[in-house]
Amino acid sequence: MHDGEKTGEETFRERNKMKAILTTLVDGVMAVSRDGIVTLANKAAEEIFKARHEGLVGRPFASLVSSQELNQMLEDVFETGRQIFTETALEQCLFRVQMAAINGEKGDVEGAVVVFHDVTDARKFDQMRSEFVANVSHELRTPLTAIKGFVETLLDGALEDKLICRRFLTIIEGENNRLTRLIDDLLTLSAIESRERKLTLKPVCLVTSIIQVMNILGPQAREKRLHLELIFNRDLPPVKADEDLVGQVLINLIDNAIKYTSPGGKIVIRVKRGGDQVFTSITDTGTGIPQESLPRLFERFYRVDKARSRELGGTGLGLAIVKHIVESHGGEVFVESELGKGSTFGFSLWVA
């Protein structure tokens, strides 16, 4: 045997090593011969093309991929020997596809390696980040534009009229407060998402927390002649939670119910145990929410009625904060609503 030749055992070990490496890769990898037949494919590739049982080896590449662009790319690799990259949609996901030539001993192209890297989540994140920046910019620009306009009017001579001056300064104060609320909510959301805000978990009596919030928001409810009712079982166990953050969840949800319930309406807060969890729900007799809006309610800056939300002092982040706080505790949020009949918002937390 010549020095450059490999034994059958060495070849077998190398194949097993290659197979093990390909199996652990999260990217889909396949080798395609010069005549367009798949000669090798890892499990990730089989999952992408939903071919776990029949496999991919021996099948024409063109029969797997309907994209004319990818088939043409493969031909280009065979012809030029160059590496080629693209992004394309496959099986409802977005993939970054890389193709590279497999060269023979004489330097000729014998086939190609095709790698599929799933970038669906990355692109969704990019889109969410862009939308978030656009929303923040818009939310900041609106009050700043108002403040700038009223300040310019005052500087142009309105300072001499005390009534106009007081009215304008009251509006400026209101816009400044709105900016402060927005920035506070942004910082809160950022701290929760990045886990900078560490949870201080301890047994918390939800009923006590709810009563405290009802006392805080009582004046707002009385001003609108709203009837607030709390229903719970006496043997309700405490939950394992961060008391301050749970208080923030309750304030956001009950405050929303008060804001969007017409004068003389009713808000019922129910707390009950279900297995190893405690469920809290806030039901109001407000105007309700369209069904198509329900899946998006907990998104940042999503508003059903933008004009009314801003008028009531909403930042568009309250429900997103609620969702992140509850989920950081391992719980879930939920909402049910019907136009003209009111809404029910709620969340679950684990028993301590």
Mean pLDDT of the chain: 85
Asked whether residue 192 falls in the same domain as residue 205, the answer is: no
The answer on pLDDT for 345 being more than 90 is: yes
What is the share, in percent, of the chain residues with pLDDT greater than 70? Answer: 89
- What total of structural domains would you count in the chain? 3
Average pLDDT over residues 33-38: 92
Residues 162 and 238 reside in one and the same domain: no
Q: What helix, strand, coil percent values describe the chain, rounded to 5?
A: 50, 25, 25
What is the spatial distance between Cα 152 and Cα 149, in angstroms, rounded to a whole number? 5
Q: What's the confidence (pLDDT) of residue 191?
A: 77
Q: What is the pLDDT of residue 145?
A: 87
Q: What is the percentage of the chain residues whose pLDDT exceeds 90?
A: 39
Contact criterion met (CB below 8 Å) for 207 and 232: yes
Q: Where are the alpha helices (DSSP H) in 36-80?
A: 43-48, 61-64, 68-80
**Calpha distance 50→45 (Å, rounded):** 8
pLDDT at position 293: 85
Q: Is residue 158 part of a domain?
A: yes
Residues 240 and 351 occupy one common structural domain? yes
How many C-beta atoms lie closer than 10 Å to residue 330's C-beta?
12
Mean pLDDT lowest for which of 35-39, 43-47, 142-146?
142-146
- For residue 12, the domain's CATH number is 3.30.450.20
Q: Are residues 208 and 336 in the same domain?
A: yes
Considering only CA atoms, which of 255, 259, 266, 246 is closest in space to residue 348? Answer: 246
Mean pLDDT for the stretch of residues 59-71: 88
**CATH number of the domain that 179 lies in?**
1.10.287.130
**Which residues have a Cβ under 8 Å from the Cβ of 210 and sit 6 or more positions away?**
230, 250, 254, 269, 271, 280
Residues 37 and 76 in one domain: yes
Find out whether 321 and 283 touch, Cβ atoms under 8 Å.
no
In a domain, 293, yes or no: yes
**Assigned domain for 150 exists:** yes
Same domain, 114 and 136: no
3 located within any domain: no
Does residue 181 register a pLDDT over 90? no
Cα 130-260-312 angle, rounded to 5 deg: 60
Sign of the dihedral through C-alpha 34, 35, 39, 44: positive
pLDDT band at 61 (very low <50, low <70, confident <90, very high): very high
- Cα–Cα distances in angstroms (integers) from residue 28 to residues 31, 41, 102, 112, 347, in the given order: 10, 8, 17, 14, 39
- What is the band of 332 on the pLDDT scale with cuts at 50, 70, 90? very high
The pTM score is 0.59
208 and 280 co-located in one domain: yes
| Confidence bin at 258 (pLDDT 50/70/90) | very high
Taking residues 129-141, what's their average pLDDT? 75
Q: What is the mean pLDDT of residues 141-161?
A: 84
Q: Which residue has the higher pLDDT, 9 or 30?
A: 30
pLDDT attached to residue 263: 92
Lowest mean pLDDT, pick from 59-63, 145-149, 195-199, 234-238: 195-199
Q: How far apart are CA 345 and CA 333, in angstroms?
A: 8
**190 within a domain of the structure (yes/no):** yes
CATH of the domain at 233: 3.30.565.10
Has residue 279 been placed in a domain? yes
Distance CA 351, CA 23 (A): 41
| Residue 112 three-state SS | strand
Alpha-carbon distance values, 299 to 176, 207, 235 (Å):
24, 28, 35
- The mean pLDDT of 243-256, rounded to a whole number, is 92
Closest CA to 43 of 58, 31, 60, 26: 26
Tokens of 334: 């939920």
Residue 143 pLDDT exceeds 70 = yes
Residues 208 and 230 reside in one and the same domain: yes
Domain that holds residue 128: 120-197
pLDDT in tens, 268-323: 999 999 999 999 999 999 888 888 888 888 887 777 765 555 555 566 788 988 99
Which pLDDT value is given to residue 12?
59
Instruction: Report the C-alpha gap between 314 and 146 in whole angstroms.
Output: 17
- Between the CA atoms of 206, 208, 213 and 215, what dihedral angle is there, to the nearest 10 degrees? 160
Closest of 94, 118, 137, 99 to residue 45, by C-alpha: 118
CB-CB contact of 57 with 38 (8 Å): yes
Higher pLDDT, 142 or 329: 329
Same domain, 152 and 101: no
Joined together, the tokens standing for residue 196 give 């900078």
Choosing from 73, 89, 118, the residue where a domain stops is: 118
- pLDDT of res. 126: 76
